[in-house]
Amino acid sequence: MKSDASELPLWAWPLIALLLLGQATWIYRDAQARGERKFLWGLFGLLNFPSSVLVYLIVTRALARRIECPACQGRIPAGSRFCPDCGAQIPSHKPSRDS
């Protein structure tokens, strides 16, 4: 039996579109609140369901640790020496060595 998109019932197409649009909207709004690239992530959310949201959660929560800039309160990658938004120097959080 050959399986293709023409075998989907008519009611499934609006459901798929609603799921993808809802996923893209949630990813867009969450990325906006976290200071991520909202348009890029929102478009990525339109690709498929649910793997786009899983990739988004892994990348933004587990892999991309971010800290807040003390000068402009922007979200910057952990370990940065300077803020890419305002140029302020970020104090080092490494413990000092007393010899």
Helix axes 12-34, 38-45, angle to 10 degrees: 160
pLDDT tens figures, 50-95: 899 999 988 887 666 778 899 998 888 888 889 888 999 988 755 5
pLDDT on residue 44 = 93
Three-point CA angle 36, 50, 61, nearest 5°: 35
pLDDT on residue 34 = 82
Residue (of 62, 80, 61) closest to 70 by Cα position = 80
As given in the structure block, the two tokens for residue 5 are 């998109």
pLDDT on residue 3 = 65
For 19, other C-beta atoms within 10 Å of its C-beta total 13
pLDDT tens figures, 13-47: 999 999 999 999 999 999 998 878 899 999 999 99
pLDDT on residue 28 = 95
